[in-house]
């Protein structure tokens, strides 16, 4: 995966305008829908257990996010996930806050047991907790942690048999064999809630058009990080204007910007 290939996948998203079915949290719903629209995808949020299977089947990707989980929603996520699996629709999972409470940890583990997820994206603490490793976590934000994130990601990918994406200052995407490290992004992303959740849904949009989910994830990460760098240049006032500038940048970035700023490293 290089910048040009990443830009090509972004172009495919814009052309296909894939439907991304999100079962996500109440904090980030609106931002996620606007971010997907800005990028060129078509968001839908649908939660009722009576309809989630039908929606998931016609979507290009299904995104499950346990940020403000409750039992009714978790049941709907499993119904939707199984329907997506049957229909061959990629499922992307964001285990928000796994490790923060026993209920979250247990739910995240149940979801990866019951649904075949194509990719899981979280901070290092969340991914560690899903696979039973210890890593400090505070609420839904990553603890500092000093472990080897690449090794953790590879271990999780092998254990869960899926693509694992761990984000932070640098982002890691791996299927356990091939690994990409993406050095894009901006600290202002940490000052706007939902930027991790939106990224998970953006990975969904990319996975809807690129069947190699590892490549889709790497392309999503570099596009997203470059958009943040461009937005930060235009939004010196702080997080409020950055949020708006970031949505604008997601709608504007293309091959030229990714070619100029993209920093994808092939890891070992
Ligand atoms: P957390 O709750 O730990 O913040 P999250 O789910 O919000 O996790 P992040 O790890 O913050 O997800 O990732 C969201 C986006 O922010 C990614 O594109 C990531 O590269 C970027 N990002 C996070 N921290 C930094 C940083 N210090 N510098 C640059 N980019 C960052
Ligand atoms: N509380 C529960 S979900 C949520 C908060 C603040 C949003 C988390 O979003 P992100 O993308 O992980 O920062
Ligand atoms: Mg964050
Ligand atoms: Mg998160």
How many Å lie between the centroid of ligand 4 and the Cα of residue 252?
A: 24
Q: For residue 171, what are the β-bridge partners? A: 182
> Could you tell me the pLDDT band of residue 237, with boundaries at 50, 70 and 90?
confident
Query: DSSP alpha helices (H): ranges in the chain?
Result: 3-16, 29-39, 52-58, 71-87, 102-114, 124-130, 149-160, 195-209, 213-234, 239-252, 255-261
pLDDT tens for 181-214 read 999 999 999 999 999 999 999 999 999 999 999 9
| Domain with 60 in it | 3-263
How many Å lie between the centroid of ligand 4 and the Cα of residue 135?
A: 15
pTM tops 0.95, yes or no: yes
CB neighbour class for 48 (10 Å; exposed up to 12, middle 13-18, buried from 19) = exposed
The tally of domains found in the chain comes to 1
Instruction: Assess if residue 268 is contained within a domain.
Output: no
Instruction: Assess if residue 126 is contained within a domain.
Output: yes
Tell me the C-alpha distance between 53 and 30, whole Å: 22
Instruction: Assess if residue 253 is contained within a domain.
Output: yes
Residue 90: name the closest of 217, 225, 251, 218 by CA. Answer: 217
CATH for 64: 3.40.1190.20
Instruction: Assess if residue 86 is contained within a domain.
Output: yes
Give the number of whichever ligand sits closest to the CA of residue 32.
Answer: 2
**Complex ipTM value:** 0.98
The pLDDT of residue 137 is 58
The pLDDT of residue 141 is 58
Instruction: Assess if residue 35 is contained within a domain.
Output: yes
**Nearest alpha carbon, ligand 1 atom 29:** 186
The rounded Cα 183 to chain-centroid distance in angstroms is 16
Give residues (CB < 6 A) around ligand 1.
123, 140-142, 167-169, 171, 185-187, 189-190, 195-196, 199, 224-225
Indicate the SS3 state at residue 123: strand
> Could you tell me the pLDDT band of residue 103, with boundaries at 50, 70 and 90?
very high
Give the residue ranges of the annotated binding site for ATP. 121, 167
Tell me the C-alpha distance between 205 and 183, whole Å: 21
Residue 166: name the closest of 146, 180, 178, 187 by CA. Answer: 180
CA distances from 26 to 113, 202, 227 (A): 25, 18, 24
């Amino acid at each position: 995966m290089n910048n040009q290939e990443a830009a090509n996948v972004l172009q495919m998203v814009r052309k296909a305008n894939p439907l991304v079915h999100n079962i996500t949290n109440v904090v980030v719903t609106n931002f996620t829908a606007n971010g997907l629209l800005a990028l060129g995808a078509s968001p839908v949020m649908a939660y009722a257990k009576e309809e989630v299977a039908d929606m998931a089947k016609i979507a290009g990707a299904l995104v499950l996010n346990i940020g403000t989980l409750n039992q009714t929603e978790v049941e709907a996520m499993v119904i939707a996930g199984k329907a997506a699996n049957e229909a061959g629709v990629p499922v992307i999972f964001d285990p928000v806050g796994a490790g923060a409470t026993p209920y979250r940890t247990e739910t995240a583990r149940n979801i990866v047991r019951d649904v075949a997820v194509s990719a899981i994206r979280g901070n290092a603490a969340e991914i560690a907790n899903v696979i039973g490793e210890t890593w400090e976590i505070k609420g839904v934000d990553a603890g500092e942690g000093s472990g080897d994130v690449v090794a953790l990601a590879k271990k999780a990918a092998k254990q869960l048999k899926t693509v694992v994406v761990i984000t932070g200052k640098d982002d890691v995407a791996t299927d356990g064999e091939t690994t990409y490290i993406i050095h894009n992004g901006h600290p202002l992303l940490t000052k706007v809630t939902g930027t991790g959740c939106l990224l998970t849904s953006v990975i969904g949009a990319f996975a809807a058009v690129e069947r190699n989910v590892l490549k889709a994830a790497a392309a999503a990460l570099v596009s997203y990080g470059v958009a943040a760098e461009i937005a930060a240049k235009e939004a010196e006032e702080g997080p409020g204007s950055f949020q708006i500038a970031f949505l604008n940048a997601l709608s504007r970035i293309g091959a030229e910007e990714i070619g100029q700023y993209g920093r994808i490293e092939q890891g070992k």
